[in-house]
Structure 1
Amino acid sequence: MNIIVQFMKRNYKILLVVLTLSVALLGFSLFPTKKASDPEKDKMLIELLTFVIEKGHYNPAKIDDTFSKGVYKDYLNALDPSKRFFLQSDIDEFSKYEMQIDDQILNKELTFFDLTYARLMKRMDESKDYYKIALEKPFDYKKNETINTEYEKLPYAKNVQELKERWRLQVKLSALSSLVEKQKLEEDLLKDKNKTLEERLQDYRTSMGDKITPELEKKFIADVEKKKNQAPKTYEQLEKETRESTLNSLNDNFNFIKDLDREDWFSVYVNAISSRFDPHTSYFGPSEKEKFDVSMSGKLEGIGARLQKKNDFTEITELISGGPAWRGKQLESGDVVLKVAQGDAEPVDVVGMRLDDVVKKIKGPKGTEVRLTVKKTDGTIKVITIIRDEVEIEETYVKSSVVEKDGFKYGIIYLPKFYIDFEDQNSRDAGKDVALEVERLKAAGVQGIVMDVRDNGGGSLKTVVDIAGLFISQGPIVQIKSAAGKKEVLYDRDAKVQWDGPLVVMINEFSASASEILAAAIQDYKRGVVIGSKQSYGKGTVQNVIDLNQFVRGSTYGDLGALKTTTQKFYRINGGSTQLEGVKSDIAIPDRYAYLKMGERDIENAMPWDKIDAAEYKIWDKQNNFDLTIEKSRQRMSNNSQLNLIDDNAKWLDERNKENIYSLNIDKFKAEQKALDEKNKKYKPISDYKNAFDFKSLPYEVEQINNDPILKEKRERWHESLSKDIYIEEAIHILNDLQSENGKGLTTKVKKDKLVKS
């Protein structure tokens, strides 16, 4: 969980300051629970939202015709992202309101919403017949036809016949992908027919490599036993099965939709309004606010993955360290979930399903099995089996490891988030925990430290200041500007420097908010070398979560929910904002997602970058070989074939991401999948890579590991991932350059070792 809250007194009693990515990244939907609709409550809600946003937002957009056009576009896209419900005639009718929504908001009118809601219900009801008719008879997979899945650029259907054809192509694609998958399984069954169980298991282990787990082996053996005497299925049987499973999936999807009421869809409209102020301003219905509060505990269940909605698709945005998906090593950030199956049951198509319902299907009791059909970033389709488990909060805490190179010892500190609990003074605090790890690493005799905040989406501002303060004498860490224009500078006022040796900070494109503040401060002081992706995420804003119920005394409307709105902006101590631009690495290292649009800068109505006056600060002057170290790293990387391969893979993924035309001819479809598989072989060395380092736990943790097999497995897996991490490898090389080129050499090493031993 990336959200940490801090209580601050402002005009609205108590506000929750959230320093993180948007809630969408955590996999929350914005639908409240099913309740009776009340138009008067809806009007009250719109009035409250506009009042609170206009009074509290950092830079509220003017509610005018331009605003109206933005709401119109976002709202219709939210209702029908794949353009499979509305006709062009509907859009023509809706379009007269495109420039009137601003007036309706200010006058608390619901005409546009009522019209679109009623029409959507009608079109959805009609569309059930379209897919049912399409799935009644076998598809002709020899016919040469294609489907374009770039829905955003597709026009709306001109008539019902064209809409039916759009549905036919969509369900045919779903059935075809299932058919090819089933045929491959049947082919594998025939190939393995004469092999012993041990031979099959060995083949499976070889194909899976380091991704194998005891759970997957157990599942594989059970599948082999189940299919031992099973006769191969014919093409006709498989084709019929795929149509039946596709029909069942769509029926399930529409059953979920049927459970939604007017209030559910009104939340979509409200969020289309809220998000036009900026991407991180959004409305929480009563049940979503409850989920938000529960999420603060950090206890996650299920497979340990965070999801977000992208048009009609559900995408994996993050794997929780220590969770079952993370342990399985098959699911990755960027994977798109197409289908979900419970154990041996038929998979359910989740394309077009609302995020909350996809999450419900993936979640489940500990020990149960879920199978995800996912589209990888390279375009291949994979079925991934995961045994659900509880994702322990311990893995959200800081941890460290030690490694040696050329006789020197270095420490790696991994911080997944900037956590703190302001209500519980006895709870863990990232600032204190990092300080403790630094002391432990010093006691172990390290000569350099890597601070790893990759994939860290943010957290408490207080802990950022505390952690940055461990590495400087004293001075400003971050500047904050409020909606009223007031500037505040947050300082580290402790003159003590807990670590004054070589320092590297690692970031990637998912390092956001508080992580960017830390990296920016270290970079501005020239205290350490920032390495990683070309730039970090670029979220330089602060959100407050405001309980809307406090504004209505004696309300008879029930719970009105809450609003998350942007109230402040971060600025580096050099005056530049981290908004949009993020933090640019001193040493940019190629990564697989370098060319994909995944940052704040890629969001249409993100707040702009700007700058204010710099704070007064003194550059760190104890690292006299900073520029030389950066140059040596760049030279080293330019000759690194593995990094060149990663960059080539990133460019290919970007090209694949732009390809949205799929053949519905089975031979061509198979050929496309085979070509993707062949292309993937070129990039297999990326996942097979292993550096030359041996990572170990600190002495105190070794004692804990001896008594805790689960912790032992977690640390072994972390150390294994570090040993395959080319970015950590380069960070260690940089520390070595900072150490050896700084005039310290072996003398310093021996001297420090003696100090430790004494």
Structure 2
Amino acid sequence: MSFRPALVLFLALSAAGAYAQNAPDASQAATSPEPGRKVSTLPLKPTVAEAQAAQLSARFLTRFHYQAQPLDDAMSAKIYKAYFDALDSEKVFFTQADMAKFEPLKTQFDDAIWNQDLTGPFSVFNLYVERAVDRMNYARGLLAKGFDFNGNDSYNFDRKKAAWPKDQAELDDVWRKRTMNDWLRLKLAGKNDDDIRKTLDKRYANYITRVRQLDNEDATQAFMTAYAESTDPHTDYLGPRAADSFDIAMKLSLEGIGAVLQARDDYTQVRELVPGGPASKSGKIKPGDRIVAIGQGETGPMVDVVGWRQDDVVKLIRGKKDTTVRLEILPADAGLDGKHEFIALVRKKVTMEEQAAKKKVIDVKDGDVDRKIGIIELPTFYQDFGARRAGDANFKSATRDVAKLLTELKADKVEGVVIDLRNNGGGSLSEATELTGLFIDTGPVVQVRDARGQVEAQGDDAPGMAWDGPLAVLVNRGSASASEIFAAAIQDYGRGLIIGEPTFGKGTVQNLVDLDKFGRGSSSEKPQYGELKMTIAEFIRINGDSTQLRGVTPDIKFPENGDAKDFGESTYDNALPWRQIPPADYKPVADLKPLFVPLTQKHEARVATSPAWKLMLDELAQYKKLRDKTDVSLNFAARQAERKQYDTMQTDFRNRRKSIFGGDGSDNTTDDNSGDDGLNPNERSLKSELKSESAAKKAKDTPLDEAAHIVGDEVGMLKADGKLAATVLPYGGKKIDMAPAQTAQVPPPQPSSPH
């Protein structure tokens, strides 16, 4: 496999993408573009590079995928289904007549890829674009007359299992009901008809604007994603834009100005500033500022970016470190005709600390004793692969950051540690193994089985432990991939308690293939082909059981949120089966089983009388009830009665939160308004959005608090019973410190071994 050294082995961010949007919000309006607006030219036509990228991807997938499948008529049929599911999963754009027209493509997508002729896939995308604009214009046309909400209509908002509309009349009826529901939500929130009409007309017009900006890369991305994910759920095609975003997500850094941007109406708006970044340090940019134009260097021409899609604006702002970018800004507090400001910034390397590991200390009471429990929240298993390969001693790494935080927590004199991996979708395989190494001495962490059936154990060779005290790992359904490797190894070694919900169940390993290294035209500095994230192996616990499909089962279970039927590896039709192989050569470092029953009993007794836990259960029950609804009435009186009932319940929840946690009772919600205001997120003021997010971050985290109490219970039991401590603490309680040199620097990866 001569291509292997050019690849980066990692575990896919599996949960990320599981809830991704089904398709780009697409299309081209029939009207002329506004001056300065960057608009794609329809119909979109595939480029030579895009067709070559598709064929090159197929060569890899049919030869080197873990379960390589031929790209033939059978695979073409799978791609066909996945492509239409991605573009129109709700069956609101295409009709049965459209599907009959495209039926021949069901066996032609394989030929399209092999022959480097993407005309067929692009014809589907172009019609999708046309239909999307047509439907938005139809919805806008309905607004003039308004609606009668005294009838018995209902709107089915979950159409994934519905049939394609049989004709235009049935499609119009679907959109009439969709638009009625949008209107009714605003009406129930107290808006008058004129305001509703303006809000919805602007919403639909903005949708058309975004659709008009779709380009070739979006079309190729949609089609090739359909092919990649037809091989298995975690193989993915990443076009140049998507590849850049993935790289940034893995290394948690970029070269730019340090501003988080968002699209709002025709503007790209500054949402927040990254602390320590050039924008923040300048003191000249603030949240809410709108970017009107961008210039490169000290004298480059200013390019008007009003109306541009956000990623095109971002592309102009990012650039090489120590270069200058000039921004023309419409200040947040200025009207549309306000005075513009001109700001020059020097780009720097910006680290996104918000996604890095963080710590805090929770104080828990054990009788008359106060105990400090350290919490480390790890959102992802990140690593700057490029910096590590280049020998940068300070490369960004989840393991290195956690090791540093553990040192700080020990200085804080914590008695136990909780690693919070909830909603951590995975990341680097090497980070999963190295992070485990912080909590064991040495030994295997995971077994990796390749396509030939050969199994290799990967593990921790660095002696010593960064933390040898009581440990717990908090997980939920969103904990996937690398999170499951870490949690499973901690469980198999008897090193710590696993607390929470059963995990996602992703047990596959992906390689990242830079297609530009292999394709024609790869000498170009500008990425043309993108990257292929391809499944090449399975990972299996050191006890011999796969986490595939089954995930990791907690030692102490918390209530499940009920998403398992819709979210998790078991929900994919083409997921790999569960597998069992011989265990690796390892020896548990402790036996935690004597803790399970007494800790569970203490947990159950505590939560039985906990108002916070009861509130969480009641809110969870309400969430499940709302989630299971698939349709709503379009009768105003009926919806108003439902709304009053819902508002009463939310008021009760808010009052209970206030009684339990203090404050105004809103600190555990994402919005002070308990009801549905009928608005989309970008239709609310930025100030209210940021306030809601800030409140959510400060909200009481009942499951985390309970996990800390469980570890506090464990600490109390071990202090009271030396024999028990010798059984459940690692290596019989023998202290094995990690040498400073080992915590300061992780050895560089060996090119011949997978990382």
Q: What is the CA-CA distance between 1:585 and the residue it aligns to?
A: 0.7
Query: Contact 2:448–2:539 (CA<8 Å) still a contact in 1?
Result: yes
1:705-737 Cα deviation digits (max 9, x unpaired): xxxxxxxxx9xx999958x33323333333343
Q: 1:469 to 1:485 in 2, by over 3 A?
A: same
Tell me the amino acid that sits aligned with residue 420 of structure 1: Q
Q: Within 2, Cα distance between the matches of 1:624 and 1:125?
A: 60
1:393 aligns with 2:353: yes
1:511 aligns with 2:479: yes
Q: What is the CA-CA distance between 1:51 and the residue it aligns to?
A: 0.3
1:58 pairs with one of 56, 66, 77: 66
Q: 1:128 to 1:282 in 2, by over 3 A?
A: same
Q: Within 2, Cα distance between the matches of 1:304 and 1:526?
A: 45
Q: 1:573 to 1:630 in 2, by over 3 A?
A: farther
Q: 1:655 to 1:596 in 2, by over 3 A?
A: farther
Q: Within 1, Cα distance between the matches of 2:220 and 2:653?
A: 46
Q: What is the CA-CA distance between 1:573 and the residue it aligns to?
A: 0.7
Q: Within 2, Cα distance between the matches of 1:476 and 1:671?
A: 59
2:449 pairs with one of 468, 473, 481: 481
Q: What is the CA-CA distance between 1:50 and the residue it aligns to?
A: 0.7
1:438 aligns with 2:438: no
1:273 pairs with one of 227, 232, 236: 227
1:627-682 Cα deviation digits (max 9, x unpaired): 34344245426734554553444343223212121222222222222222223345
**What is aligned with 2:297?**
none
Q: 1:607 to 1:97 in 2, by over 3 A?
A: same
**What is aligned with 1:599?**
568
**What is aligned with 1:496?**
464
Q: 1:612 to 1:322 in 2, by over 3 A?
A: farther
1:377-423 Cα deviation digits (max 9, x unpaired): xxxxxxxxxxxxx9951662332425353335333131323333324
1:147 aligns with 2:155: yes
1:21 aligns with 2:3: no
Q: Within 2, Cα distance between the matches of 1:28 and 1:564?
A: 19
Q: 1:140 to 1:410 in 2, by over 3 A?
A: same
Q: What is the CA-CA distance between 1:177 and the residue it aligns to?
A: 1.5
**What is aligned with 2:371?**
409
1:740 aligns with 2:697: no
Corresponding residue SS for 1:611: coil
Q: Within 1, Cα distance between the matches of 2:332 and 2:492?
A: 49
1:342-741 equivalence runs, <5 A = 392-393=352-353, 396-401=356-361, 403-406=363-366, 407=369, 409-416=371-378, 417-421=380-384, 422=388, 423=390, 424-533=392-501, 535-554=502-521, 559-590=528-559, 592=561, 597-621=566-590, 625-633=594-602, 635-636=604-605, 639-640=608-609, 642-684=612-654, 687-688=657-658, 724-741=700-717
Q: What is the CA-CA distance between 1:133 and the residue it aligns to?
A: 3.0
Q: How many residues align?
A: 603
Corresponding residue SS for 1:625: helix
Query: Contact 1:545–1:565 (CA<8 Å) still a contact in 2?
Result: yes
Q: What is the CA-CA distance between 1:48 and the residue it aligns to?
A: 0.8
**What is aligned with 1:253?**
207
Query: Contact 1:284–1:562 (CA<8 Å) still a contact in 2?
Result: yes
**What is aligned with 2:82?**
74
1:143-222 equivalence runs, <5 A = 143-183=151-191
Q: Within 2, Cα distance between the matches of 1:160 and 1:595?
A: 36
Tell me the amino acid that sits aligned with residue 147 of structure 2: F
Tell me the C-alpha RMSD between the 2 structures: 4.4
Q: What is the CA-CA distance between 1:504 and the residue it aligns to?
A: 1.6
Query: Contact 1:29–1:288 (CA<8 Å) still a contact in 2?
Result: no
Corresponding residue SS for 1:609: coil
Corresponding residue SS for 1:151: coil
Q: Within 1, Cα distance between the matches of 2:136 and 2:708?
A: 58
Q: 1:489 to 1:179 in 2, by over 3 A?
A: same
1:483-514 Cα deviation digits (max 9, x unpaired): 33332212223443443332222112222222
Q: 1:30 to 1:116 in 2, by over 3 A?
A: closer
Q: 1:13 to 1:526 in 2, by over 3 A?
A: closer
Q: Within 2, Cα distance between the matches of 1:689 and 1:454?
A: 27
Corresponding residue SS for 1:560: coil
Q: 1:146 to 1:487 in 2, by over 3 A?
A: same
Query: Contact 1:15–1:545 (CA<8 Å) still a contact in 2?
Result: yes
1:246-268 Cα deviation digits (max 9, x unpaired): 12221221232223345532331
Q: Within 2, Cα distance between the matches of 1:159 and 1:28?
A: 26
Q: Within 2, Cα distance between the matches of 1:677 and 1:640?
A: 26
Q: What is the CA-CA distance between 1:171 and the residue it aligns to?
A: 1.5
Query: Contact 1:592–1:646 (CA<8 Å) still a contact in 2?
Result: no
Q: Which runs of 5+ in 2 are unaligned?
A: 27-38, 264-270, 276-287, 291-308, 316-326, 334-349, 663-690, 726-732, 734-755
1:293 pairs with one of 242, 247, 256: 247
2:194 pairs with one of 237, 240, 264: 240
Q: 1:553 to 1:674 in 2, by over 3 A?
A: same
Q: What is the CA-CA distance between 1:531 and the residue it aligns to?
A: 0.5
Q: Please identify, of 9-18 and 445-454, the stretch whose mean Cα deviation from structure 2 is larger.
A: 9-18
Question: TM-score if structure 2 supplies the norm length?
Answer: 0.70
Q: Within 1, Cα distance between the matches of 2:618 and 2:72?
A: 46
Query: Contact 1:452–1:507 (CA<8 Å) still a contact in 2?
Result: yes
Corresponding residue SS for 1:274: helix
Q: What is the CA-CA distance between 1:595 and the residue it aligns to?
A: 5.6
Q: What is the CA-CA distance between 1:88 and the residue it aligns to?
A: 1.1
Query: Contact 1:58–1:566 (CA<8 Å) still a contact in 2?
Result: yes
Corresponding residue SS for 1:43: helix
Q: Within 1, Cα distance between the matches of 2:496 and 2:579?
A: 25
**What is aligned with 1:346?**
none
Q: Within 1, Cα distance between the matches of 2:170 and 2:489?
A: 56
Tell me the amino acid that sits aligned with residue 737 of structure 1: D
Tell me the amino acid that sits aligned with residue 238 of structure 2: F
Query: Contact 2:476–2:500 (CA<8 Å) still a contact in 1?
Result: yes
Query: Contact 2:251–2:382 (CA<8 Å) still a contact in 1?
Result: no
Q: Which runs of 5+ in 1 are unaligned?
A: 1-8, 184-237, 307-318, 324-340, 344-353, 370-389, 693-713, 753-758
Tell me the amino acid that sits aligned with residue 176 of structure 1: L
Question: Identity rate of aligned residues, in percent?
Answer: 32
1:97 aligns with 2:90: no
Corresponding residue SS for 2:128: helix
Q: 1:548 to 1:81 in 2, by over 3 A?
A: same
Tell me the amino acid that sits aligned with residue 17 of structure 1: L
Q: What is the CA-CA distance between 1:551 and the residue it aligns to?
A: 1.8
Q: Within 2, Cα distance between the matches of 1:305 and 1:182?
A: 28
Q: Within 1, Cα distance between the matches of 2:523 and 2:153?
A: 57
Tell me the amino acid that sits aligned with residue 480 of structure 2: A
Query: Contact 2:489–2:542 (CA<8 Å) still a contact in 1?
Result: yes
Q: What is the CA-CA distance between 1:530 and the residue it aligns to?
A: 0.7
Q: What is the CA-CA distance between 1:574 and the residue it aligns to?
A: 0.7
Corresponding residue SS for 1:522: helix
Tell me the amino acid that sits aligned with residue 532 of structure 2: L
Query: Contact 2:73–2:108 (CA<8 Å) still a contact in 1?
Result: yes
Q: What is the CA-CA distance between 1:445 and the residue it aligns to?
A: 3.8
Q: 1:92 to 1:541 in 2, by over 3 A?
A: same
